[in-house]
Structure 1
Amino acid sequence: MGRPNYKIGDMIVLKSGLTRTAEAEKRCRIAGVLPNDHGHVQYRVQFDAENFERRITEADIDTGKSLSRAAPEVVAKAGGAEPWLKLSSIRIGK
C-alpha cells in the first residue's frame, strides 16, 4: 500500500457514500499526490463543479471504475505541462 497507483491528471471515481449519489458527481481528477500517512497513499482531488480540492486516501477510490496510470502524454496534454523556464529563450548580453 505504499506506492501511489494513480498520477496527477488521472480521472477517478470515488466509492459510494463519500459524495452524492449521482455518478457524474463521483468522478474527479487527481490534482496532487500527498505523502503517505501511516502506509496509506493520499491524493488531492478536485471535482469539475468545485473550485477547491479535497484530500482522499486510496481506500476511497473505486478501483473497478477508475483507470490507473494514464499515459504520460495524456497527463502532459491535460495539465498543459510545459517547462516554465525555456533555456532557448534566455539571452545573455555581452
Structure 2
Amino acid sequence: MGRPRYKVGDMIVLKSGLTRTAKADERCRIASILPNDHGHVQYRVQFAAENFERRITEADIDSGQSLSRPLPETTAKTDGAEPWLKFSGIRTGR
C-alpha cells in the first residue's frame, strides 16, 4: 500500500455510500497525491459539480470501475538529462 496507484488528472469512481451526492456524481478527478498516512495512500479529489476538494484514501476508490495508468518507475535520468543541482558547483566559505 505504499505507492500510489493513480496519477494526478485520473478520473476515478468512488465506492457507493461515501458521498451524499447523486449516483452520477461518483466520478471525480484526482487533484493531488498526499503523503502516506500509516501506509495508506491518500488523494485529494474534486467532483465536477463542487468547488472544493475532498481527501480520500485508496481504499475508498472502486478499482473495478476506475482506470489506472501505469506509473513510471523512476523519473530521474530517463533520457540522459543531468540533475538540476550539481554538487561540484557549490562553493562554501571558510
| TM-score (normalizing by structure 2) | 0.71
Look up the match of 1:59: 59
Greater per-residue helix proportion: 1
Residues 9 and 29 in structure 1, CA contact (< 8 A), matched pair in contact too: yes
Matches within 5 A, 1:1-94: 1-20=1-20, 22-69=22-69
Amino-acid identity (%): 83
Runs of 4+ in structure 1 over 4 Å off? none
The two structures, once aligned, show a CA RMSD in angstroms of: 1.9
| TM-score (normalizing by structure 1) | 0.71
* Letter aligned with residue 60 of structure 1: D
1:14-71 deviation digits (Å, cap 9, x = unpaired):
0011013633211000000000000000000000000000000000000000000279
Number of residue pairs aligned between Structure 1 and Structure 2: 72
Q: Which runs of 5+ in 2 are unaligned?
A: 72-94
Q: Which runs of 5+ in 1 are unaligned?
A: 72-94
Q: Distance in 2 between matches of 1:49 and 1:36?
A: 27
